[in-house]
C-alpha cells in the first residue's frame, strides 16, 4: 500500500470489532441504531482503500468465528448465530499520536470518500443477510455497549492476502 503523507505506517481500511450482547448509538438524544447479540464495528476508511479492501473486510468480519458453539468455544460466525451488526464511522481510528500532543488524522479518507465507502460497507453487510443498524456519518455520537467476553479485535485490510 502507498505511504500516507507524514505517516510511514501502512494504511488500510480499519475496523475495531467488539462482540456484544447489546449496543446502541444515540445522536442528539435520538437512538439511530440498536442491536442485541452481534458485533459493534467501528469503521475507519483511508484514502488508499479500494473495492478489494471493502469486499475483503466485509467477508472477514461476517465470517469471523468468534461466537461460542455448544461447547463454549469460539467457533461460530455472526451469520451462524443470526446476530446483527451496528456500524459506526470512526475516522479517529487513524489518529497518529506519535508526534506532539494532538493526533494527526491525515491518513483518514476525506469525508466524501469515507461516507461513500461506509455506505457501501453497510450495504455489502446487508447483502450477506446480516441485519445492520448504523450511527450517523459526521455526527457527534454516543455509543453504549455491553462487550461480551470481552472480545475486541482489530482488523486492517492490509492483512488480506494480495
Residues annotated as part of the active site = 90-92
* Closest to 48 (Cα-Cα) out of 157, 151, 148: 157
* Cα–Cα distance, 29 to 119 (Å, whole number): 23
The length of the chain in residues reads 162
Q: Say if residues 48 and 4 touch (Cβ distance below 8 Å).
A: yes
* Cα–Cα distance, 132 to 44 (Å, whole number): 17
Torsion 150-76-11-140 (CA) sign: negative
Q: Say if residues 136 and 118 touch (Cβ distance below 8 Å).
A: no
**Could you tell me whether strands 67-68 and 38-44 are parallel, antiparallel, or unpaired per DSSP bridges?**
unpaired
Amino acid at each position: 500500500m502507498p505511504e500516507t503523507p507524514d505517516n510511514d505506517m501502512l494504511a488500510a481500511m480499519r475496523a475495531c470489532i467488539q462482540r456484544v450482547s447489546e449496543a446502541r448509538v444515540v445522536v442528539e438524544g435520538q437512538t439511530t441504531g440498536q442491536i442485541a447479540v452481534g458485533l459493534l464495528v467501528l469503521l475507519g476508511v483511508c484514502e488508499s482503500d479500494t473495492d478489494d479492501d471493502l469486499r475483503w473486510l466485509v467477508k472477514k468480519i461476517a465470517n469471523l468465528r468468534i461466537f461460542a458453539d455448544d461447547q463454549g468455544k469460539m467457533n461460530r460466525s455472526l451469520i451462524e448465530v443470526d446476530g446483527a451488526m451496528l456500524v459506526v464511522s470512526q475516522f479517529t481510528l487513524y489518529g497518529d499520536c506519535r508526534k506532539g500532543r494532538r493526533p494527526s488524522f491525515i491518513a483518514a479518507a476525506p469525508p466524501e470518500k469515507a461516507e461513500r465507502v461506509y455506505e457501501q460497507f453497510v450495504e455489502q453487510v446487508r447483502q450477506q443477510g446480516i441485519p445492520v443498524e448504523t450511527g450517523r456519518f459526521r455526527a457527534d455520537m454516543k455509543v453504549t455497549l455491553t462487550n461480551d467476553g470481552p472480545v475486541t479485535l482489530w482488523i486492517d485490510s492490509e492483512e488480506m492476502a494480495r
